Structure 1
Amino acid sequence: MIWITDHRMPRGYVGGMMALVKYAAGSRRRLLCALLAALAVAPAARAAADPPPFSAAERVIIGAALGLGDHRFDLDDRALSRRVLDYARVEAGQRVRPSRVDSDWALAPPVRDLAAELAAARAAGRLDAWLAALAPPAPAYRALVAARGRYAMTVGVGGWPSVPGGPTLRLGDRDGGVTALRARLAAEGFGAGSGDLALFDTELEAALRAFQDVHGLEVDGVLGPATRAALNVTAAERLAQIDANLERWRWMPHAPPGDRLEVDTGGQEAVLYSGGAAVQRMRVIVGSPKHPTPMFSAQIEAVILNPPWNVPTSIARNELLPAEARRPGYLASMGIRWVDGRLQQRPGPKNSLGVIKFDVPNRFGVYLHDTPAKGLFAQPVRAFSHGCMRLQEPRALALNLLAPTGMSPEALDAGIAAGVTRRIGLAHRLPLYVVHWTVRVEPDGRVGFRPDIYGWDRKLAAALPKAATSPSQASVLPSRRAPV
């Protein structure tokens, strides 16, 4: 065992040095590499632990960014440096590496040396600009930060009232539970009038419909079990859900390509952007809770007409072959046969991929495609696949993506009608981002929450405090643009 210490080294650096040397002790080559790596980071580590004194102007800038108020003058330079770096780790999404929490989380921000960035920003007189550029600039992120402030205030005063159990309530009913329903809706910004409080009137029905719509529920204006359950999620739980979504926003690129396709597995929606503007929206069907669609980025390379379906081994073993054993002839009735040692479904109206597939090479083996099961798009929660993303409007998307190649609607329809598998390359590969948003701020400022179908909000919320560098980092710190 070899130990190297230096009283001039900051405590964290010494610990890291010891860990490196302990790891390398069994090999001279590894020891040399470890020492060189440690020496390379020593200046930045020392600068973080013993920063140059902060000027009064810098303290004002930091106080405004971090919401410290007069407290900015109470902290010594080391403590203030730690607070700035804690804040930077949060806003820059550096507290956790997503794939270490869940292997299906393949979206992540680049690793950053924030201590070195802070030192450089101070030296260049750009501290204000550096702090301002840490957080995502997306308007949706800023709106969510502002919403977080409101929900934090609600939690601070004890949350909102619950809706007690009782019968299903609808238009025209008079019940004591109606009064509680009005109070609960109003607490989250869904005003329901102030007439006869115990009467379920048209205003209350409209407010309940609005709540159901933004929460991904069946919009029927009826207080049934699912709606009652959503209303009784506590304000603290909603705040944690907001924090999880804010963290995922920090994993996104600050300047995404203007031309891209985003698939949101939380809201089960796809949006095509051209020049930064949304030009097509559609519903999607995503992976079930047992087979979640991962978060990742990739490139759409081609459109495939009349694709065959090469059945994944797990689906063949666990579903199709047992079905064939129970009902001989089942596979043949579905157009499925053995090809080169694996099951394959021939192109046609019964094909599970429909008549259009979008070629998206990725390590997860999931892709975008049509589906013969159109009725499932009417469901409020659309999580039924084995991980792939089924599109409500694949033909319109194909026409949009193939427009630069000169593809006409007539030519596309003729290609489909021919029944022959055909791969049509895109003129330019299109970036794809598969994201997971379960909280969205509506244009009127009201916040909609989607069901956490994969349990990812809870999983991320549990991981963040463990990765936090101080107790204050267990939730989102204040933003300079929208103080909480």
Structure 2
Amino acid sequence: MKLHAVLAALALASGLTAAAAAAPPPDLALSAADRAALSAAFERAGRTPPGPEASDAQVWEATERLAQAELGLRLRPADLDPLWAQAPAARSPQREMASAYASGGLAAWAANLSPEAEVYAALARARPRYAAIVDSGGWPDLPSDLRLRLGRAGPGVLALRQRLAAEDAGPPGPDQPEVFDRPLKQSLVAWQARNGLEADGVLGPATLARLNVPAATRLAQVEANLERWRWLPRTLPADRLEIDTGGAEGALYREGRRVRTFRVIVGAVRDPTPLFLSEINGVVLNPPWNVPDRIAREEILPKAALDPGYLERNGFVQLDGRLQQAPGPRSALGLVKFDLISPFGVFLHDTPGREAFRLRERHLSHGCMRVEQPLVLADLLLAPQGRGGSRLAADLAAGRTQRIALSRPLALVVVHWTVRVAPDGQVGFLDDVYGWDARLALALSGM
């Protein structure tokens, strides 16, 4: 099934799935305050609450289904893809809801159904807006040959204004709506920036292709990203390193505050970087590279067969029947590797291929995560224990492989976001490079 068709199936699915619900308590009598609290829970989730005409039993059953969804319990991620090694805590919405009702705590229980993250809340607010666009027929495609820039005029300019206005309020209507003026360019620049494109204010092929992605696809991407949020711990560690494989970006958090961001090279389509939770427990300086058998067999040994000096020139040796690349400027791991518990055998490390960080499309690796600023990150991790700064520089310059254990391991959270939120609350969309949105959308649409 094609991507747009799969995602449209999710977007057009009728509300929350009809999961099996336990029978309401025999003495059920929801107070006005209870019903108001449950309605608020639906609204926080970006869902339409049951109307005033709904019976208490209907409200109860709808709320159970909402809880099943908001707690991320509709499916097991690893059953869909073994690379999705994240899952919410096991809970029983039926038992929790019945207990909360019996103790008079239904409102407090309902207030904590959805993840608290502000990004999640922003996506939940965006959901009904995109659902309304879908319900009204979506936005029309712009002509495939349309090319526009500042100063151009014609009906295509008006069509672009209308397309941008479908998602954004946009600038006030100009006196000459068919003229590509500066306010329209500014609106297009903002839209391009949110959607991971070159923000040049020109309607070229890449921008046109993104603008013509159907609204149903965008709604379904919102749904898929909301679902992935539900798989994460409700409270993320205040000190953590996040790697986002969707945007190929990383961020270091201290005490819940983002203190450093950087670009990352992540897995290519053939070798996606998995979703998992772990911790960084050490920093390896001047690391050797133990070449995985598949890479040796499919890439390095064929090169050596054509070029007899290739292995020696690049520092490869045979060690216990496997290839190893010695530390040095040519090492695929660069100068620093960040040790972590990795159930998938993927690493976080430096790379000699610095030019690749300039690319917008950075899904290029065999699954490992290459860091744009490895020495800065190493310094931030090692400085609290006196191993950063000039000492780190000296240790690196010595050229000797050494592992420095972190006195306080740092949480690592590998996520995958294809919808992101701008500071003004508007959302932008990235390409579904791995096809994970489509796969998740298909699973959710059948529930």
TM-score (norm 2): 0.89
Output the CA distance in 2 between the equivalents of 1:344 and 1:267. 31
Deviates more, 1:429-438 or 1:404-413: 404-413
Question: 1:328 maps to which residue?
Answer: 308
Residue 115 of structure 2 aligns with an amino acid whose one-letter code is P
| 1:233-248 paired onto structure 2 within 5 Å | 233-248=213-228
Please name the residue that 1:163 is paired with: 142
Shift of the alpha carbon at 1:179?
Answer: 2.4
**Counterpart position of 1:345:** 325
Matches within 5 A, 1:268-283: 268-283=248-263
Residue 440 (structure 1) shift: 1.2
Query: How far apart are residue 352 of structure 1 and its match?
Result: 1.0
Q: Per the alignment, do residues 341 and 190 of structure 1 end up closer, same or farther by CA in structure 2, a change over 3 Å counting?
A: farther
1:426 offset after TM fit, Å? 0.6
Aligned to 2:268: 288
Q: Any conservation in 1 of the 2:21–2:61 contact (CA below 8 Å)?
A: no
Distance in 2 (alpha carbons) for counterparts of 1:325 and 1:97:
45
Once residues 266 and 224 of structure 2 are traced to their aligned partners in structure 1, the CA distance between those partners, rounded to angstroms, is 20
Cα distance in 2 for partners of 1:65, 1:213 equals: 32
Pairwise mapping of residues 75-224 of structure 1 onto structure 2 (< 5 A)? 77=57, 79-166=58-145, 168-189=147-168, 191=170, 194-224=174-204
SS in structure 2 at match of 1:290: coil
Structure 1 vs Structure 2: percent identity of aligned residues?
51
What does the per-residue CA deviation read over 1:284-312, in whole Å, with 9 as the maximum and x for residues that have no partner? 11101111000000010101111111111
CA radius of gyration, larger in = 1
Letter in 1 for 2:416: H
SS in 2 for 1:249: helix
1:348/1:115 Cα in 2 relative to 1: closer, same or farther (>3 Å)?
same
Q: Which residue number in structure 1 is paired with residue 23 of structure 2?
A: 49
Decide which of 214, 218, 239 is 1:259's aligned counterpart.
239
Q: Any stretches of 5+ residues in structure 2 without a counterpart?
A: 1-19, 43-48
| Counterpart-to-counterpart distance in 2, 1:374 and 1:170 | 33
Please list the CA deviations of residues 51-87 of structure 1 after superposition, one character each: whole Å capped at 9, or x if unmatched.
2322131445434534213133x35x3x444322111
Displacement of 1:325 in angstroms is 1.6
**Is the CA contact (8 Å cut-off) linking 2:346 and 2:369 kept in structure 1?**
yes
Match of 1:415 among 395, 417, 420: 395
Query: Contact conserved, 1:161 with 1:183, CA < 8 A, in 2?
Result: no
CA contact (8 A) 2:222 2:419 kept: yes
Contact 2:281 2:340 in 1 (8 A): yes
Match of 2:27, as an amino acid? P
CA-CA distance at 1:223 after TM superposition: 1.9
The alpha carbon displacement at 1:176 in A equals 3.6
Label 1:207 to 1:420 Cα distance change in 2 as closer, same or farther (>3 A): same
Shift of the 102–47 alpha-carbon distance from structure 1 to 2, 3 Å rule, reads closer
Determine the structure 1 residue equivalent to 2:11: none
What whole-Å deviation, never above 9, does each CA across 1:141-170 have from its counterpart, x for those lacking one?
111111112111222222223211115433
Q: Deviations over 1:393-429 (max 9, x none)?
A: 1111111111221123111111111111111111111
Question: CA shift at 1:318, angstroms?
Answer: 1.0
Deviates more, 1:172-181 or 1:263-272: 172-181
Corresponding residue to 2:41 among 65, 68, 79: 65
| Matched residue, 1:302 | 282
C-alpha distance in 2 between matches for 1:120 and 1:339: 61
The answer on whether the counterparts of 1:291 and 1:385 sit within 8 Å (CA) in structure 2 is: yes
1-structure distance, mates of 2:206, 2:140: 17
Measure, in 2, the Cα distance between the counterparts of 1:203 and 1:153.
Answer: 26
Pair 47,147 (structure 1): closer, same or farther in 2 beyond 3 Å: closer
State the TM-score, normalizing by the size of structure 1: 0.83
Give the Cα separation in 1 of the matches to 2:237 and 2:125.
26
Gaps of 5+ in 1: 1-45, 469-484
